[in-house]
Amino acid sequence: MLNYWITAIKLMQVKSFTSWIVLVLLSCLTTFNAHASGIKILTTEPSQGSMIVGQLLVDGDVYFEQKQLKVSPGGIFVFGVGRDAASSVELLLKQKNSEVKFPINIRQREWQIERVDGLPPGKVNPKSEEVLARIRQEGGLVKSARSKETEYSFFQEDFILPAEGRISGVYGSQRILNGEPKRPHFGLDIANKTGQPVVAPASGIVSLVHKDMFYSGGTLIIDHGYGISSTYIHLNSISVKVGEMVKQGQEIATIGATGRATGPHLDWRLNWFNTRLDPQLLIKTSKGE
Ligand SMILES: [Zn+2]
């Protein structure tokens, strides 16, 4: 910046006082703009389903879709955009006397169509009142685990894959179960034998353990802080308890085929509160496509 001004001054051969004033004013304007854009996005090329980490470089509050984001002492904040996010989203930076919009480009993705046939009809379209009540109750437990907003900053770790195996399902694909279009699939499926280990992809605090939910079977949720959590379903066994701190790489469960699963696999999910994100985008070696 300094070089730029020196060059400008040389080029203009500034002699008059008025020219100096103009230069000083221009310089102030440039500084003002630099502050107005006091947000830096640290995630490279955010796309639909991305967990997006940013840094606030000035004093102020950051909002995404009316929600004020928690900001660390170092200025770090995080939020996520869902599968169907528009090609541009906006953060709002609120300072004492100003509100500045900060647009972020969101790469648009294409989704796979996934057909699953041969499921027991009762699992595709549950009818009984008893089953529906169970599904509601379990949904409530999951929702409350995902709505936690804690101070932990484990979401900043470089995530690793929680299991070894064949990728058998990806985030965002449209599922057609027994010929009926259903909600998109929000997990990364890793197929392997029942009993194979599941490890924590990043450190966190266990926020939910359930032995057998109707859809998801053995279910585990880990809170990574600031509204970021990860979910592990169809588990055969779970070796951690609610409130326990787990370290990245620590064994937390084993792969199973519990709940609505056609074979043994881990279904790994990532959430920003109740927005479902793509966990595969956090793994450095994969593109998530
Ligand atoms: Zn799955």
pLDDT digits (tens, 9 = 90+) for 158-196: 999 999 999 999 999 987 888 888 889 899 999 999 999
Ligand 1 centroid–CA 198 distance in Å is 15
Question: Strand 188-191 vs strand 204-213: parallel, antiparallel, or unpaired?
Answer: unpaired
- Per-residue b or e along 75-85, where b marks 16 or more CB atoms closer than 10 Å to that residue's CB: bbbbbbbbbeb
Ligand 1 centroid–CA 192 distance in Å is 13
Looking at residue 15, its pLDDT comes to 52
Homologous superfamily (CATH) of 39-105 is Peptidoglycan hydrolase domains (2.60.40.1590)
Domain 113-282 has what CATH class? mainly beta
Ligand 1 centroid–CA 77 distance in Å is 29
Ligand 1 centroid–CA 40 distance in Å is 34
Q: Are 71 and 62 in contact (CB under 8 A)?
A: yes
Looking at residue 288, its pLDDT comes to 46
Looking at residue 142, its pLDDT comes to 97
Looking at residue 13, its pLDDT comes to 54
Ligand 1 centroid–CA 232 distance in Å is 10
Radius of gyration of the chain (CA): 24
Ligand 1 centroid–CA 246 distance in Å is 23
User: Could you tell me the strand order of the sheet in which 174-177 lies?
Assistant: 113-116, 174-177, 180-184
Average pLDDT of the residues of the chain: 88
Ligand 1 centroid–CA 270 distance in Å is 12
Residues, CB-to-ion distance under 5 Å, ligand 1: 169, 187, 189, 267
Ligand 1 centroid–CA 172 distance in Å is 11
Q: Are 91 and 76 in contact (CB under 8 A)?
A: no
Q: Where are the domains of the chain?
A: 2-36, 39-105, 113-282
Ligand 1 centroid–CA 193 distance in Å is 15
Mean pLDDT by groups of 10 residues along the chain of 289 residues = 49 55 51 61 97 96 97 97 97 94 96 82 74 95 96 97 96 87 90 98 98 96 98 98 98 96 96 97 69
Residues 108, 111: Cα–Cα separation, whole Å: 10
Residues 5, 40: Cα–Cα separation, whole Å: 25
Q: Are 281 and 54 in contact (CB under 8 A)?
A: no
Bridge partners, 189 (sequence order): 169, 267
- The predicted-structure confidence for 202-215, as pLDDT tens digits, reads as follows 999 999 999 999 99
Looking at residue 143, its pLDDT comes to 96
With tokens 């600031």, the residue in question is 226
Of the candidates 141, 143, 113, 139, which has an alpha carbon nearest to the alpha carbon of residue 126? 139
The tally of CA atoms less than 13 A away on the side-chain side of residue 277 is 25
Ligand 1 centroid–CA 161 distance in Å is 15
Of the candidates 44, 289, 286, 73, which has an alpha carbon nearest to the alpha carbon of residue 159? 286
Of the candidates 109, 94, 104, which has an alpha carbon nearest to the alpha carbon of residue 52? 104
Amino acid, single-letter form, for residue 281: L
Ligand 1 centroid–CA 259 distance in Å is 11
Ligand 1 centroid–CA 216 distance in Å is 9
Residues 71, 64: Cα–Cα separation, whole Å: 12
Ligand 1 centroid–CA 148 distance in Å is 23
Looking at residue 181, its pLDDT comes to 84
Ligand 1 centroid–CA 187 distance in Å is 5
Ligand 1 centroid–CA 49 distance in Å is 16
